[in-house]
């Protein structure tokens, strides 16, 4: 893509490793290495699997070369740790309001339900789903499965995704599909998140 993204944020690590390793043998067209790495540097990776895939590319190695890396102690702190702001115990975090909709126009009885919930600023989307379920459990109940990329929503309002009919729950902010999972995506105040029952 023109902004440097290759696939999505989860596929960036492997794509960078592949392009870095094969550049001298296979180059169908030029790619802007600096632009691609700026996408990676600008993202706050939290999932161990995503970190494991992007880290070799960040040090200019592939998985095959990772065993030969020499690590030395560094006095510097990583940028992600430098930007971490700790909230003192007893200090209340500000709350944000998130609008959340669940939509099914594919199977069974169609539905389009919406709710607004308040969660502490910095909460993940999973926390938003939990708040919606707590507020209206008959409508916003959901189930997740743990994956190596974090929790994946597999059922909402009793409607389960099914690989046989190629259905899944897609999360969007406005019209844009989220590039992160519910366990890492952090909504902003006033954002409208939609969970749409979709096919692939």
* Strand ranges, E, within 125-189: 142-147, 150-156, 159-160, 167-173, 176-177
Range list of H helices, 137-179: 137-140
The response to whether 104 counts as a known ligand-binding position is no
Q: Rounded to an integer, what distance in angstroms lies between the CA atom of residue 199 and that of residue 38?
A: 32
The response to whether 162 counts as a known ligand-binding position is no
Q: Rounded to an integer, what distance in angstroms lies between the CA atom of residue 157 and that of residue 107?
A: 12
The response to whether 81 counts as a known ligand-binding position is no
Q: Which residues pair with 198 in a beta bridge?
A: 168
Q: 3-state class of 63 per DSSP? A: helix
The response to whether 8 counts as a known ligand-binding position is yes
Residue ranges for the known binding site are 8, 53, 178, 200
Residue ranges for the known binding site for cyanocob(III)alamin are 8, 53, 178, 200
């Amino acid at each position: 893509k023109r902004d440097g993204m290759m696939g999505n944020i989860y596929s960036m690590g492997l794509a960078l490793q592949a392009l870095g390793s094969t550049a001298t043998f296979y180059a169908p067209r030029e790619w802007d290495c600096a632009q691609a790495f700026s996408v990676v540097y600008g993202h706050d990776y939290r999932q161990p699997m995503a970190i494991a895939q992007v880290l070799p590319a960040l040090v200019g190695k592939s998985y095959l070369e990772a065993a030969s890396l020499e690590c030395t102690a560094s006095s510097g702190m990583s940028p992600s740790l430098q930007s971490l702001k700790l909230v003192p115990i007893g200090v209340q975090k500000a709350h944000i309001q998130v609008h959340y909709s669940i939509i099914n126009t594919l199977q069974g009885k169609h539905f389009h339900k919406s709710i607004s919930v308040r969660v502490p600023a910095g909460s993940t989307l999973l926390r938003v789903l939990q708040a919606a379920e707590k507020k209206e459990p008959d409508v916003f109940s959901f189930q997740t499965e743990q994956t190596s990329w974090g929790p994946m929503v597999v059922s909402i309002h009793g409607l389960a995704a099914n690989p046989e009919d190629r259905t899944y729950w897609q999360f969007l902010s406005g019209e844009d599909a989220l590039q992160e999972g519910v366990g890492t995506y952090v909504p902003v105040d006033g954002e409208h998140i939609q969970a749409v029952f979709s096919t692939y």
